[in-house]
Amino acid sequence: MALLGVLLARYIFGADIDVEREFAVRTEKRVALQWHFRDEWRVWLSVNGYGSDFKTEGYHPSFTYIVSDYVPVVKKIGNRYQISFRSEIATGIP
């Protein structure tokens, strides 16, 4: 099962990287965060860029979207935003 996760991550990110030792996997226009759960690595968040000149602008906020298996919880703190993630099974837990 762990090997399947590694191969899937390599396929998704299109890079020959050692995903078993990295918590953040980066390729052009995509960054993913993964965590080690039991005997496998799981990608839980993917930040994707599109439509901008990535080499000069990086992850331009207007051309970036996030994909996650978890529910985002957004909290405004002054002029900034804090985004945390919660599993659906934890809904209703403070």
The residue count of the chain comes to 94
pLDDT for 57? 77
Contact (Cβ atoms closer than 8 angstroms) between residue 15 and residue 22: no
Domain that holds residue 42: 2-90
Contact (Cβ atoms closer than 8 angstroms) between residue 75 and residue 57: no
pLDDT for 56? 81
Place of tokens 């968040």: 45
Counting Cα atoms < 13 Å in the Cβ hemisphere of 33 gives: 9
Q: What is the pLDDT of residues 11-34, one digit of tens each?
A: 555 555 554 567 788 777 888 888
pLDDT for 2? 46
Nearest to 32 by CA among 24, 22, 40, 20: 24
pLDDT for 9? 54
Q: Which residue positions in the chain have pLDDT lower than 50?
A: 1-4, 19
pLDDT for 21? 60
The number of folded domains in the chain is 1
Angle at 36 between CA 64 and CA 74, to 5 degrees: 40
DSSP H helical ranges for 1-94: 2-13, 54-57
